């Protein structure tokens, strides 16, 4: 079992847990020691509830990026059976930042696709920290089209800082690959369910996110840009990241209010990494509820509903502005 890693705002929890561990390790039978263990355990539970009930958007983003946060490989292990990974985009190569293949979920044959960041440093480098290149998105699209051919529903697991911004990715058509996914996913005639499990960063996330239902984990984030990137652009100061995280309205509850997502899935106390099995069970149950609704729809109805969902996002107003309004905008 890996050693738990603590975020900055979790340090008080670490101190209490270490105190409890020392008391337990002493194996003392003294009443005073046993009472201290009980009291400290109660304090820990209360403090944990207090901390996680009052998280800021920036703290949510820190949990979403936790190095021990479960990824698609963890969820497939707990949720599905007989996963058969498929590789390559049939054009350039195999991008390990994207993982996908056929598997069995709750007795149904499905196509599962998602970002994989990796666990160890070596694996994270091999998987480019979950930042896909064009061949990754083209692989994902190839697998989606394969699922459509065999009439299999699609579940995507989204967890990426964003699409890889390197020169080689741009040379191979990064923007076109993402745009192609958006177009083709909107036309697929099978149910598509998406779960934002960690970071949902920009177009790199949206390329797997044009779905009939979008779900988010409690501490996941979903945004057009990272808080650091937003702070650098708006204020020229990365230390404003916490302010940017609030302004971006990137957490599940905020996005649910805006009707961008359909459901926020509660996480175990402390985050999904504290109990991946329980988290997987909750995701599976939530997906099942939405899938039962979608499977009643015809392919044509699925497409129409999906199109209506995305066309309804945002608010629209007149482009006309009074001279006074124009002056205010330009000042």
pLDDT at 328 (0 to 100): 39
pLDDT at 319 (0 to 100): 54
pLDDT at 28 (0 to 100): 76
Q: What tens digit of pLDDT does each residue of 295-315 get?
A: 999 999 999 999 999 998 876
The token pair that represents 290 in the structure block:
């939405």
pLDDT at 320 (0 to 100): 54
pLDDT at 297 (0 to 100): 95
pLDDT at 2 (0 to 100): 64
Q: Kindly give, in sequence order, each residue whose CB lies less than 8 Å from that of residue 79, ignoring residues fewer than 6 positions away.
A: 105, 280, 281, 283, 284
| Top-ranked range on mean pLDDT: pick from 186-195, 223-232, 238-247 | 186-195
pLDDT at 37 (0 to 100): 85
CB 219 within 8 A of CB 25: no
Q: What tens digit of pLDDT does each residue of 162-178 get?
A: 999 999 999 999 999 99
d(Cα 72, Cα 9) in Å, to the nearest integer? 26
The mean pLDDT value for 148-156 works out to: 97
pLDDT at 315 (0 to 100): 67
**Between 33 and 282, whose confidence is greater?**
282
Q: How confident is the model at residue 62 (pLDDT cuts 50, 70, 90)?
A: very high
The mean pLDDT value for 80-86 works out to: 96
| pLDDT of 316 strictly over 90 | no
pLDDT at 324 (0 to 100): 45
**Between 18 and 59, whose confidence is greater?**
59
| pLDDT of 144 strictly over 50 | yes
Express as a percent the part of the chain with pLDDT over 90. 75
User: Mean pLDDT, the chain, as a whole number?
Assistant: 91
pLDDT at 330 (0 to 100): 41
pLDDT at 190 (0 to 100): 97
């Amino acid at each position: 079992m890996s050693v738990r890693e603590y975020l900055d705002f979790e340090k008080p929890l670490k101190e209490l847990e270490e105190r409890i561990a020392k008391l337990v390790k002493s194996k003392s039978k003294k009443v005073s020691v046993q009472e201290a263990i009980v009291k400290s355990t109660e304090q820990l539970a209360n403090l944990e509830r207090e901390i996680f009930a009052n998280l800021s958007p920036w703290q949510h983003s820190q949990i979403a990026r936790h190095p021990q946060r479960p990824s698609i490989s963890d969820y497939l292990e707990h949720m599905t059976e007989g996963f058969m990974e498929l590789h390559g985009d049939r054009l350039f190569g195999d991008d390990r930042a994207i993982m996908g293949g056929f598997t069995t979920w709750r007795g149904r044959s499905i196509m599962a696709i998602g970002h994989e960041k990796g666990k160890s440093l070596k694996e994270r480098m091999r998987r480019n920290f979950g930042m896909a290149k064009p061949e990754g998105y083209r692989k994902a699209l190839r697998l989606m089209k394969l699922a459509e051919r065999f009439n299999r529903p699609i579940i995507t697991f989204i967890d990426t800082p964003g699409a890889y911004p390197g020169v080689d990715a741009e040379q191979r058509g990064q923007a076109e690959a993402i745009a192609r996914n958006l177009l083709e996913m909107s036309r697929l005639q099978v149910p598509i369910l998406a779960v934002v499990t960690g970071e949902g960063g920009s177009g790199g996330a949206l390329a797997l996110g044009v779905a009939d239902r979008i779900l988010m984990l409690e501490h996941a984030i979903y945004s057009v840009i990272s808080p650091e990137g937003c702070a650098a652009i708006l204020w020229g100061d990365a230390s404003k990241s916490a302010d940017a995280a609030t302004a971006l309205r990137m957490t599940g509850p905020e996005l649910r209010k805006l009707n961008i997502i359909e459901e926020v899935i509660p996480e175990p106390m402390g985050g999904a990494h504290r109990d991946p099995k329980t988290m997987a069970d909750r995701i599976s149950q939530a997906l099942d509820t939405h899938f039962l609704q979608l499977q009643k729809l015809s392919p044509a109805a699925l497409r129409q509903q999906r199109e209506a969902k995305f066309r309804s996002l945002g608010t629209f107003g007149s482009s006309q502005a009074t001279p006074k309004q124009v002056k205010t905008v330009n000042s």
